[in-house]
Amino acid sequence: MSKLRVLSGMQPSGQLTLGNYIGALKNYVKLQITHDCYFMVVDLHAITVPQEPAALKEQSESVAALYLAAGIDPKAATVFLQSTVSAHAELGWLMTTLTYMGELERMTQFKDKSAGKESVGAGLFTYPSLMAADILLYNADLVPVGDDQKQHLELTRDLAQRFNGKFGETFKIPQGYIPEVGARVMSLDDASKKMSKSNPNAGSYIALLDAPDVVRKKISRAVTDSGREVKFDPANKPEVSNLISIYTQVADKTIAEVEALYEGQGYGPFKKDLAEAVVTVLEPLQQRYREIRESGELNRILAEGKERAAEQAERMLKEVKTKMGFVVL
């Protein structure tokens, strides 16, 4: 029996965070063993907001290297840059023509990212159609998504069904994959918001490439609730509950074990140990990252990933264009 196919990607706009590692990368590493995985750096999505060319290039390479440093094996999974497979942009346009204005206007991410801005690029409005194309090009069975991407996956499913109904059975209808644990790590300065690399306050997130002393400082300054009890209670103690969740993921402990460990000790010892647990996870990842960047192997790995991805993507694009009535030479 063939493996189920997984497609996922991250934007190279800003540094990847501990939230990206816990919520996505750790699961990517597990999924590559049991599934046929395509992991991309979605650089075409990144330019929906202005990017400095040099920064975009550096961050695209950095994200790809962090995929590998986190444990993704390019022999087991296909790792590539979205923009190097031209079928993404082409199917993105075809999907845009099948997408209704009302569907895009309802997207909460567009509302959030465009709020308070005098002018907004059309790409920010239409990029959910490109995201649908990303998924449908590979006939993905499963798409790891956070809560903020559920709307986009629903649009993808609608577009797949719309195309199949109009032009004949072509696309699988993808399903969302949300890990049971660690899917959502919240900000260190406000537990009502997701930890995000786009937050202007660098103290709100831990970047995967933060130096150990920076990690210690950020965790020591993380907002905690009133009182001193290390208790998991998201409704009444959201800040410390978020830190406990992080601890369980980086130290491989249960919530009950963490609570028992710091019973009667207060937040000080808890935060200190949490910082060391995070550093213990990040230091070897950072070492592997440096080795990958210095080895010069990254471009070869991405070129090989591009070839594998393009083979699948071009085959699907050709089928789509033929069914839509284009002359395919």
Known catalytic residues? 113, 194, 197
| 35-48 as b/e: b if 16+ CB within 10 A | bbbbbbbbbbbbbb
* The amino acid at 171: F
SS3 81: strand
How many Å is the maximal CA-CA distance in the chain?
A: 73
Phi-psi region of 264 (alpha: psi -120 to 50; beta: other; left: phi over 0): left
Would strands 175-177 and 142-144 be described as parallel, antiparallel, or unpaired? parallel
- How many CA atoms lie less than 13 Å away from 242 in the CB half-sphere? 23
Strand pairing class (77-81; 36-41): parallel
Helix (H) or strand (E) holding 264: none
Please identify which residue in the block is written with the tokens 């195309």. 163
Q: Which amino acid, one-letter code, is at 153?
A: L
CB 30 within 8 A of CB 109: no
Compute the distance between CA of residue 255 and CA of residue 271 in angstroms, rounded to an integer.
15
